[in-house]
Homo-oligomer: A and B are copies of this chain.
């Protein structure tokens, strides 16, 4: 009957799980899934391999959780953009958010969802598929947003929401690749502005 109000028994964890996951996410972001070794990861997390396995399972599970954290952290602009009042503002916010996130100083350049595991060996195919699904999910949610805009009469009825969302996500992924190579923020923003000057396509 007594509600369990006391903490879990046993020795409490000696590190902050959220902070360790944040650091792991940064390593995956910069070096990719295959490029990030456990030694590098645990070194950045400040814990031993034993603690990492006890807290996160294994490397692949750690990556999955790092991707979730990325989605709700650096990539949260996507969810916010979908709430913009118009489709045009949604597209603008997505590209601006992508550019800001992929070119932020003191953060890894590029996008974890793009460069985390774009091409991998056999042992990392599950992670590659996970990221492909992650990217596709973003495209689908954007398509639904544009479809709503068509239904509400904001966009012309002959507009193809899938085509439009594919266009915006293609630009976003391309921006991520450019940013990973060191292309500057201002140049990308000018290009994005020009790309959305005529809308919808």
Which residues of A does B touch, CB under 8 Å? 29-32, 34-37, 40, 108, 110, 114-116, 118-122, 124, 131-132, 135-136, 162-163, 166-167, 169-178, 180-183, 187-188, 190-191, 194-195, 197-198, 201
Chain B minimum-CB-distance residue to A181: B132
B118 touches A114 (CB 8 A): yes
**Per DSSP, are chain A's interface residues mostly helix, strand or loop, or mixed?**
helix
Contact B191 A118 (CB under 8 A): no
12 A–B contacts from the bound complex (CB under 8 Å): A31-B120, A31-B121, A114-B118, A115-B118, A116-B119, A132-B181, A169-B174, A170-B175, A170-B188, A173-B173, A173-B178, A194-B201
- Residues in B with CB closer than 8 Å to A197 are 201
Is the Cβ of B124 less than 8 Å from the Cβ of A119?
A: no
The residue of chain B having its C-beta at the shortest distance from the C-beta of A162 within the complex is: B187
User: In the bound complex, what is the Cα–Cα distance between A35 and B197 (angstroms)?
Assistant: 40
> A103 CB to closest chain B CB, in angstroms?
13
Question: For A37, what are the chain B residues with a Cβ–Cβ distance below 8 Å?
Answer: 121
Cβ–Cβ < 8 Å partners of A36 in chain B? 121
Min CB–CB distance A3 → chain B (angstroms): 46
Q: Which residues of chain B are near A194, meaning CB under 8 Å?
A: 163, 167, 201
Given B35, B132, B166, B183, which contacts A188 in the complex, CB threshold below 8 Å?
B166
**Which B residues lie within 8 Å of A162 (CB)?**
187
**Nearest B residue (CB) for A187:** B166
Docked pose: A162 CA to B191 CA in angstroms: 9
Shortest Cβ gap from A7 to chain B (Å): 39
